[in-house]
Amino acid sequence: MTNLKEETQFGWNFENSYSLLPKSFYSCQNPIPVTSPELIILNSPLATSLGLNIEELKSKDGEAGLAGNLVPEGALPLAQAYAGHQFGHFTMLGDGRAILLGEQMTPSGERFDIQLKGSGQTPFSRGGDGRAALGPMLREYIISEAMYALGIPTTRSLAVVKTGEPVIREMVLPGAILTRVAASHLRVGTFEYAAKWGSKDELRALADYALQRHFPNIEDDENCYLSLLKQVIKRQAELIAKWQLFGFIHGVMNTDNMTISGETIDFGPCAFMDEYDENTVFSSIDTQGRYAYGNQPHIAAWNLARLAETLLPILDDNQDQAVQLAQEALLDFNKLFNRNLLTGMRAKLGLFNEEEGDVLLIGDLLSIMQKYHADYTNTFRALTFDNPTDTVLFGTQEFKEWYQKWQSRLSGQQETKCSALELMRNSNPAVIPRNHRVEAALEAAVKNEDYHVMERFLDILKEPFAYSQEQEEFTSMPEPSGIPYRTFCGT
């Protein structure tokens, strides 16, 4: 494999700070070349922000670089080691089909991981082929970019390249590689790996690296590792609240899928909810509902407890004191999550100030929505338009009484009704990546090699709060079906 020598031609500007960690945290590994790389989609705005040359990335050499056939100058490809609790069961994992090329330093001085997903077998593949199918990679592109537009912290997608090679799952599918951009790929599972198989010094090295990478302002705190735990708890509380506010269901909230940075990562069986139901599960493998919509805050707290356990040896030399510090920090999650959720829900209802009855007002609306199978996004959209007749709730006695209480609550504010509706408009998306629309885009792309459906869909999703006429056709729910919608991991 040759290197892409003219670094400045493409704009790559790599550093490799992760490789300075102890060798046990990674395995040096080049991507495995593919037969016929073909660029399917390139995220031009993201490429520009990263300092990359769009036209060069579209060239044959650019395609080869995004497929892993050529390694950019300055990159140091490696597969990261980590562990994880998967559906509650602990296991050794690692990048089984992904290669970290390095960290792109942007013109503004920011640092982002550049990872190729589907780039071939690694020492962590556990018997897998190390490849990815086109459909799941396009799904990650669509969902991650939609989440970015919604303001949800997330990893992003730079490009998808077809490999020209088949992958075999339940059927033969076209292969693809996704270029993922992340603040980092440090996970709760990375710390679990260090705690289980590393020394105390290696655990401390990982924690120091996480501090340098994401929380440099707390490196000098008296107990910087306790501060690290608190910051991760804070970021995850903010993230999960955002998921709940927009009806996002991750589907596989294993500890290896919870980042230290607070970004959403891995989009296999994820989906957005249509009808509001706390028990909603889309993932085909989540048969017990462990990762249902309503369970996500509880699972986040459970995952964070696993992180706290890994940090005990460096929180305090006295184990009892370390446990007490960790427990006290973990108590903050529910408080922070509920505060973020309540603030967001108030905004969705146009409420600027806080009143004691708000929790009941919000809870009553959600209960009515669940009872009458109301669409989550479109209910808030109808309220934003102040057009309650557009929701299935209209005409029910429960909603009539709730609506009167809500109007009374709005009229008691100092802010005008117009200001309240503007707040709602900025908090309630007109469009989300609805499942039937995602499937339509993927079917056109994978089966017919027609990418126009996906491109138009992505264009609509770029401005979810625009409430434009072009978005109208993308706001409708799917046709009723007796078959529940299911998503799959894609591995």
The model's pLDDT over 309-357, given as tens digits with 9 standing for 90+, comes to 999 999 999 999 999 999 999 999 999 999 999 999 999 999 999 999 9
392 has a pLDDT exceeding 90: yes
Mean per-residue pLDDT, 145-156: 98
Q: What pLDDT is stored for residue 3 in this prediction?
A: 58
Rounded mean pLDDT of 76-88? Answer: 97
Whether the predicted pLDDT of 122 surpasses 70: yes
Query: What gap in Å lies between CA 491 and CA 132, rounded to an integer?
Result: 7
Closest CA to 297 of 265, 330, 262, 337: 337
**Around Cβ 487, how many Cβ atoms within 10 Å?**
24
Quick check: 242 and 151 in contact, CB under 8 A? Answer: yes
**pLDDT, position 22:** 97
Assess whether pLDDT exceeds 70 at residue 491.
Answer: no
The pLDDT of residue 1 is above 80: no
DSSP 321-362: HHHHHHHHHHHHHHHHHHHHHHHHHHHHTT--S--TTHHHHH
**Interval 84-99 mean pLDDT:** 96
Above 80 in pLDDT, residue 36?
Answer: yes
Alpha carbon dihedral 38, 43, 47, 52, in 10-degree steps, equals 20
CB 69 within 8 A of CB 37: yes
Mean pLDDT of 422-445: 97
pLDDT in tens, 291-313: 999 999 999 999 999 999 999 99
Strands (E), 169-302: 172-182, 248-249, 271-272
**CA-only gyration radius of the chain, Å:** 23
Mean pLDDT of 408-422: 95
Task: Return the pLDDT at 2.
Answer: 54
Is the model's pLDDT at 34 over the cut of 60? yes
Q: What is the pLDDT of residue 490?
A: 60
Q: In which residue are the tokens 């922000």 written?
A: 49
Q: Is the pLDDT of residue 388 over 90?
A: no
Q: Give percent of the chain with pLDDT exceeding 70.
A: 98
**Per-residue confidence (pLDDT) for residue 488, from 0 to 100:** 75
Residue 108 burial by Cβ neighbours in a 10 Å radius (0-12, 13-18, 19+): exposed
pLDDT for 484 equals 74
What percentage of the chain has pLDDT greater than the value 90?
91
Res 6: pLDDT: 47
Kindly state the average pLDDT of the residues 248-260: 97
Q: In the predicted model, is pLDDT for residue 23 greater than 90?
A: yes
Q: Catalytic residue numbers?
A: 256
The mean-pLDDT minimum among 6-10, 115-119, 228-232, 467-471 falls in 6-10
- Contact in structure between 141 and 180 (CB atoms under 8 Å): no
pLDDT band of 5, cuts 50, 70, 90: very low
Task: Report pLDDT for 478.
Answer: 84
Summarize the confidence of residues 25-31 as an average pLDDT.
97
pLDDT at 172: 94
For residues 105-125, give the mean pLDDT. 97
Q: What average pLDDT does the chain have?
A: 95
Q: Determine the angle formed by the axes of helices 358-371 and 397-411, rounding to 10 degrees.
A: 150
- Note the pLDDT of residue 325: 98
Task: Please indicate whether residue 348 or residue 287 has the higher confidence score (pLDDT).
Answer: 348
Nearest Cα to Cα of residue 120 among 105, 131, 109:
131
Cα 152–chain centre separation:
8
